[in-house]
Structure 1
């Protein structure tokens, strides 16, 4: 009550100039006391002499404001929201990635705050990263399945990891010029990626109680089957480890924090600019990266797999024939062998021996079958565009040959 009466008195009796000085004095009085009690010897020497009020010295006033602002920012686990508009690093990152103008700098600054730096869900990137992770998985999966419908499951998992795996996302964050903060805090520039690092000597690859996480899969011993990878593994075909502890106090690796940041950027674009902008960002930054899928295959017995494939598709049994050879009795012979199914040549390979050339020809035939890609393939997300043509079902293959 006395404070309210004092405010009314100051607003009615004092002049505008005196009222401004009075309000400033009330705001900085506590800072003044803290400054005088915690001043270093250098600051004490520069303090005003007796009889001179610090509020009459503009330099001292600005120094008090800086001290007060620094002390208030130290109370926050992450930079305040209003600091995003004053960060040159953040504005440069926004322009470098050519992000939509509807994506504010405040949201971009939030994508750089990991959950281990700030446990408050309103200021970290955990929710944005969850949305971005689902979008990246969806767009990558539909691209692979619609453009390469015959790929084996293991190759799809490898391609998924190559496009949207944590190592790829961490490399992208580094290519974008994102720098890592040594420690998170309210005084850090919002343009730095902030996260709590793991303690030295921590085993980050240790599984935490897989038996309790998935007891049914462990009891049935389905870890060796292809079906178990679909139902019980992550989107990359890897074993799902135990629950990961997140929040302030725990730590993550720089790779995981960078990957979470890239996913959060994807989710932020989707929320602020919509689906077309998010898909355009995915095509520009993810699908534009060259991936040679033919190098992801690893057949142990290609001749046997090719024979099983021809039997399933009702083709004539594959037969290996010599197409050409040179230097059979020299130190470096070269044999060119073709795999034929009736009158059709399925593949061709060259090697220093007939067996090596036959294996390479069978491998080329298998890759020619599994790398089939239909012309003008459409993905399901293309129906979200305005004025999209009627949907036509995509080609669905029988699947890989299980041996």
Structure 2
């Protein structure tokens, strides 16, 4: 008879739910450990005027950092990196964290508020909350341009507002690291999830070809034309197609994909979000939908 060997593997609950194994580490402990690190704020300390601007920014947004160096790091652009050690910028690490935190809370919100929303529509709503232009608007609204530390040569002809979206993501990462998930969630709820998003539009976007076809027919306007602009690796397992959607000579959409149809669909979606955005609210999809039978490539 074979001897019975006792199982030494950890219990499933401890593997699947690590928070049951040990209490969550207090945010102050995390902050204390970070404080021991050499941060961008210590290598490139802010001037008196910069420090004053950051303090005003924190007060106006009711931000109370245990480790103020993290706030400085979040608002310090990568142009402050040393030419000898270009990876020494803490802002990028905070942005990495923010890019994980922000989608988590937004996805949770969408799933809770709209439980019957299809996955493709959820992705579209996610972009409405966290798209680059949206985050830039939010970052500007909370006052990031007046507090951000960025070297002029890095901006070129742009303004600090142009980088507000990226700095906002770093700020969210800094709040999470300094104060924990609850504070980060509250900031996201206040500034990101408080925006009004018409979910009905994103339901319609599940049928982009039908939607654009309907808009064109109802308006009596010219029909956009799709043309293939790129074909690469056609004989390989991962071909890439590029499709441009034009209205006359004007490019109103562009998309890429593993098939020409996929690229065309993405170009149509971009055109709907930009060129035809005003018509989306008042357009009703027909009762009979033939999404697969509609194309904007010339016959």
Structure having greater relative contact order (Cα 8 Å, sep ≥ 6): 1
TM-score, length-scaled by structure 2: 0.49
- Structure label with greater radius of gyration: 1
Could you tell me the TM-score, scaled by structure 1's length?
0.37
